[in-house]
Amino acid sequence: MNGRIDGRLLPTPVDRDAPVRAHRLPTLGERAGGSFAGFDAFADKVAEMIDVPFSMVNFIDANRQFFAGLHTPTGTHTGSYLGVAAAGSGRGGRYVALDHGYCPHVVARRKALALEDVCDYPRFAGNPVVDDIGIRSYLGAPLIDPAGIVLGAVCAVDTVPRPWGQAGLDTIKSLAQELIGHIHRREDNGSIAL
């Protein structure tokens, strides 16, 4: 994935877990019976706790992002509100390209990311979600499983600048830990449905 600024491409950090994750994510989907029920409810919880109009539980493979959990202001849980294409997903438009949004940066960096105003950061200001959806602030944390593999990210976004501060970072990290705990326990039981 690359960002654009002044016609130049800016590289994204190298995602060292991509090959392992590419093999692991389909297995998670099979264990869930192709259903990710419960992730929407978790995205709703994130939106409520952080008080944002949008939140996502985002799994990232080698080619695209999948919003397993999605909260929108209308509560429809569909990506159509975000202007993302269905790409044959059968999940209401929950797949999006790697260059849309900031979760791939969180995954590659393996660290939380707080952007109080994305327009203050040239690397992030040119992202398509700024113009397409009106995203102005982002708060995300990686979902790192017990084996140390980053599966994706949980994030909160807003259409206005937000001073996330340390409290915001602590909250999103705590939510990511809570979710990875749910996933790990469910995997042990043969399913990741929440």
Residue matched to tokens 């590419």: 22
Strands across the sheet containing 54-60: 95-97, 64-71, 54-60, 150-158, 137-144, 113-115
Q: What CA–CA distance (Å, rounded) separates 34 from 90?
A: 11
Mean pLDDT, residues 20-26: 78
Q: What CA–CA distance (Å, rounded) separates 189 from 184?
A: 9
CA dihedral 155, 25, 124, 4 (to 10 degrees): -160
113 vs 38: which has the higher pLDDT: 113
Q: What CA–CA distance (Å, rounded) separates 193 from 29?
A: 9
> What pLDDT does 89 receive?
39
> What pLDDT does 37 receive?
63
Question: In Å, how far are 22, 53, 88, 152, 170 from 49, measured between CA atoms?
Answer: 31, 11, 32, 20, 12
Cut 0.75: pTM above it: yes
With vertex at residue 35, the alpha carbon angle to CA 112 and CA 173, rounded to the nearest 5 degrees, is 15
Q: What is the pLDDT of residues 47-101, one digit of tens each?
A: 999 999 999 999 988 778 888 899 988 766 555 455 444 333 344 567 888 888 8
* CATH level 2 (architecture), domain 35-187: 2-Layer Sandwich (3.30)
Q: Residue 9: which pLDDT band, with cuts at 50, 70 and 90?
A: very low
Residue 36 has pLDDT above 80, yes or no: no
Residue 46 has pLDDT above 90, yes or no: yes
130 vs 79: which has the higher pLDDT: 130
